[in-house]
């Protein structure tokens, strides 16, 4: 599928989609709780669909109703086939840990791009907690025997490793102690996990710097969980307003713990016209100034920050980028290549991505990475000549309605 975009004037109100991160976590906690839970207003996407599919294969019943998923949790069974996690890193990492609670053998696999992403630190940590697990060429094999105890893990590779361990820790035969050997990056994502666990009756003790976690044996309790909207997706909708007209993004939790709520502070520092209301943010076309920013805790909005910086006066520096080579694609290289095609000068140096703002020209952008495709879709709205996004369907990973939202906002776009 291709999206062909030309310079547009945008004006309108739009509702942000539900949070992918919270949907994953709510589903997992509901599966761990014995009884019936309701996930209200979940995100329906490729990634959350992957988690749903895997949970069903290990014996969890999920009934889909209008804007509600009813999850009957607490009883796992050995899967009769491999657990295919598609391209979802969250699904893969969380479910490797969850499978350590199943009395039997589980084999998890996924798309080639997923299997290239790091998993060894999580495997080692689980082995220290008594789990029989092994990384193979195209899969991870897990058998039960999760005992708990003490383990260590790096905090600067993926916060999903820490979240995965926290999710299963309450099932330990004794207290579980988790220590991080490096500073934790993407801290808000771990705090999101702890927050969802709390809603399902589980308490996690941790140090102020999130380098040490203590979890007692306890039980998850079923509940009705409302999924708030996604700040990662909202960042693109706000950028559209700032660059191409005016957008009012509704249904947002202004007090959210999501990492990507940082987009508000970033836009304000760049001089954007931003107004926050009780449950909405208004973004208007603005003259942007360059910025220096560390995105260690919010790496998912790197692509759209790059687009914003490309339209800011002067030279911007984005640091804290080292983990971006481990995402769905090497996002540093993808943004560098795509921006160059659209006549934007960039340079990578010493864990920094440097961008010189200038007028973009339309180009053909081909990527299988959802956030890369959306970012250049936004830049295409202000570029001279048309921009063509190849593999445009990849947005279904996190924001299936993205192109439809642009059409609704009267963007000059054709999708076929």
Q: Angle at the Cα of 215 (from 85 to 213), degrees rounded to 5?
A: 85
Whole-angstrom Cα distance, residue 229 to residue 232? 9
Whole-angstrom Cα distance, residue 381 to residue 200? 43
Determine contact, residues 188/144, Cβ cutoff 8 Å. no
Residue 229 Cα to chain centre, angstroms? 13
Spell 322-334 as b/e; 16+ CB within 10 A means b. Answer: ebbebbbbebbeb
Q: Angle at the Cα of 22 (from 213 to 37), degrees rounded to 5?
A: 95
Burial of 130 by CB count in 10 Å (0-12 exposed, 13-18 middle, 19+ buried)?
A: middle
Provide the phi-psi class of 226: left if phi over 0, else alpha when psi is between -120 and 50, else beta. beta
Is 298 in a helix, a strand, or coil? coil
Active-site position among 47, 230, 300, 369:
300
Active site residue 230: no
Please name the residues in contact with 76: beta carbons below 8 A apart, sequence gap of 6 or more: 31, 58, 59, 60, 98, 101, 102
Tokens coding 371: 């956030």
Is 322 in a helix, a strand, or coil? helix
DSSP states along 166-214:
HHHGGG-SS-EEEEESSPPSSHHHHHHHHHHHHHTT---EE-TTSSEEE
Beta bridge partners of 315: 356
Burial of 209 by CB count in 10 Å (0-12 exposed, 13-18 middle, 19+ buried)?
A: exposed
Residues known to be catalytic: 300
């Amino acid at each position: 599928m291709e999206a062909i975009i030309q310079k547009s004037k945008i004006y309108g109100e739009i509702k942000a989609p539900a949070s992918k991160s919270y949907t994953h976590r709510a589903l997992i906690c509901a599966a761990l709780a014995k009884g019936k839970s309701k996930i209200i207003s979940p995100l329906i996407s490729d990634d959350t669909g992957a988690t749903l599919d895997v949970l069903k294969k290990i014996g969890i019943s999920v009934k889909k109703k209008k804007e509600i998923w009813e999850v009957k949790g607490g009883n796992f069974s050995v899967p009769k086939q491999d657990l295919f996690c598609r391209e979802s890193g969250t699904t893969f990492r969380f479910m490797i840990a969850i499978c350590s609670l199943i009395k039997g053998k589980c084999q998890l696999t996924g798309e080639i791009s997923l299997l290239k992403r790091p998993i060894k630190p999580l495997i080692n940590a689980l082995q220290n907690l008594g789990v029989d697990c092994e990384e193979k060429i195209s899969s991870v094999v897990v058998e039960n025997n999760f005992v708990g105890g003490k383990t260590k893990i790096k905090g600067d590779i993926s916060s999903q490793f820490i979240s995965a361990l926290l999710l299963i820790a309450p099932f330990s035969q004794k207290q579980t102690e988790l220590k991080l050997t490096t500073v934790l990056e993407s801290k808000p994502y771990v705090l999101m996990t702890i927050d969802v666990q709390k809603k399902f009756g589980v308490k996690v003790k941790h140090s102020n710097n999130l380098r040490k976690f203590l979890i007692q044996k306890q039980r998850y309790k079923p509940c009705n969980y409302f999924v708030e909207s996604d700040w990662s997706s909202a960042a693109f909708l706000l950028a559209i307003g700032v660059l191409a007209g005016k957008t009012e993004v509704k249904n947002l939790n202004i007090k959210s713990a999501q990492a990507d709520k940082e987009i508000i502070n970033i836009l304000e520092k760049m001089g954007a016209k931003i107004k926050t209301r009780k449950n909405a943010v208004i973004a208007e076309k603005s003259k942007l100034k360059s910025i220096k920013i560390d995105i260690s805790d919010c790496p998912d909005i790197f692509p759209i920050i790059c687009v914003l910086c490309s339209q800011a006066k002067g030279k911007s520096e984005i640091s804290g980028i080292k983990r971006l080579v481990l995402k769905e694609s090497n996002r540093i290289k993808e943004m560098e290549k795509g921006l160059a095609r659209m006549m934007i000068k960039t340079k990578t140096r010493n864990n920094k991505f440097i961008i010189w703002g200038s007028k973009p020209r339309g180009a053909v952008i081909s990527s299988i990475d959802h956030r890369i495709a959306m970012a250049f879709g936004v830049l295409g709205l202000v570029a001279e000549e048309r921009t063509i996004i190849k593999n445009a369907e990849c947005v279904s990973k996190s924001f299936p309605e993205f192109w439809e939202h642009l059409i609704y906002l009267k963007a000059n776009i054709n999708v076929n």
